[in-house]
Amino acid sequence: MRYPVTLAATALGLILCLFSSTGYDPHNVFFFMFSPVAWISDVFYDIHKTPVIVMYALTVLCYAVIGYACDRLIAAGRRRRRV
C-alpha cells in the first residue's frame, strides 16, 4: 500500500512550519489558521509558554496522522469496491 496523501499532508505541515519559522509571517497568522495543534492548545493553555519547536513537531505529526487516516479510508473504500 502506498501513502500519497500521507506524504502530501506531511509536506504541507513541513511547509507551514518552515514558512512560519522564516519570518515572512511575523505574527504567525498562517500557522495559527492552519495548525490543528495550535487550535487545540490555545484553548487549554497559553500557547506562548510552549516551545516553538514542540509546536512545529506536533503540527507535522498531526498532519502526518491526518494523511495516514485518509490513506486508510481510501484503501478501505477501494477494497469494498473490489468485493
pLDDT in tens, 2-14: 889 999 999 999 9
CA 1 to chain centre: 21
Q: For residue range 33-47, what is the model confidence (pLDDT) as tens digits?
A: 999 999 898 888 888
Cα separation, 23 vs 10, whole angstroms: 21
Note the pLDDT of residue 18: 95
Q: What is the dihedral of CA 52, 64, 40, 42, to 10 degrees?
A: 20
pTM across the whole model: 0.88
Number of domains in the chain: 1
Residue with the bigger pLDDT between 71 and 25: it is 71
Range of the domain at 23: 4-82
